[in-house]
Structure 1
Amino acid sequence: MSEERRAKGDRFHGRVGGRRRHCDHPGCTEPGEFRAPGERRSGFDGPGDWRWLCLDHVRAFNARYNFFDGMDAEEIEAQQRPYAGWERETRAFSVNAGSTPRWSDFIDPLDAIGARFAAREAERKDGKLLSERDRKALKILGLGTDADRRALRARYAELVRRYHPDRNGGDRSHEKALQDVISAYTQLKSAPAFA
């Protein structure tokens, strides 16, 4: 293998580095860095075997490889069915996964997927995005999604005065609420929406 190919070698998909084995093609002394199916296919008895080939020989293998080789007409038809694999039961989506778009309202499916996330992005007037943690922190502080940094500081100061034991005659019953407020403020003051 040439030095130029070794220098650019990391760009090939499927390369398995770190192995010290030779190409399985007879007479080849190049390193076998690419995996190709062997004689025995994967099936009920377990995974099939693999051959390790160099770049040139794996390219030649891929050029002549036929997935359907050795199958009869019924097996080929079963592999080519449009619903192959759909007979297995799959897990249902979570009911809390969020609102789903009405696909009939869109021509392009990617537009429908984008519309689902556009609603979240438009929650702030300034266009800055809020993470789920940011939304929870705003809820703890009792602020809306369009709050600015000044409103954040003012609300934080108000809640600290309300819950701090020094302001309540040593009463520590609001200690958990105070910790939540401090944690929420710490989260939001470093959030991109409040930078």
Structure 2
Amino acid sequence: MASKASKWHGRVEGAASRCAVPGCSEAGEFRAPLTPGGFDGPGTYRFLCLDHVRQHNSAYNFFAGMSTEEIEAAQSPIAGWDRRVRAFAHAPGADPGPAWSEFKDPLDAISARFRPGQSRQRVQRFDAREREAMGVLGLADDADRQALRKRYSELVRRYHPDRNGGDRTHEKVLVRVIDAYQLLKGSRAFA
């Protein structure tokens, strides 16, 4: 075990092999992945010198081959919590608990398990003002933040006087659309 912190983060102390790049005679002190780790284990590695591991890292792209939607999903802070999973386990003869997919926050799902009578009620996502704002924008209760932004953009383009040749007959509707969006973008349901 090293007595002081290594200057180079990621250096494998005591590596006995040479750099895996043909023709390089430097010590291979840094691990570079050949195959990514996954369910079956950590993956395979090769050992490279500092210059070659820098070259390897500069060419590495985690998102290579992913679509825009897959990249956004991978970068989401709640990635993995929004997928459908099996319902809570329950005792025979008792009402089943709520499904995980009914919740955006995992802590709400866990606490719902212990609330009396919660298993038959679906958690309300919006309060009365927010439901009215959803109606103004013409959105369903299952709309996500992306659908909210898209619909707001469509309605502003439709009703804004600059897009209608200076026609100001839709100003009141535009104000209602803007107010509804301002309320909903700060809503807990779209956080």
| TM-score (normalizing by structure 1) | 0.37
Computing the radius of gyration from Cα coordinates, the structure with the larger value is 1
| TM-score (normalizing by structure 2) | 0.37
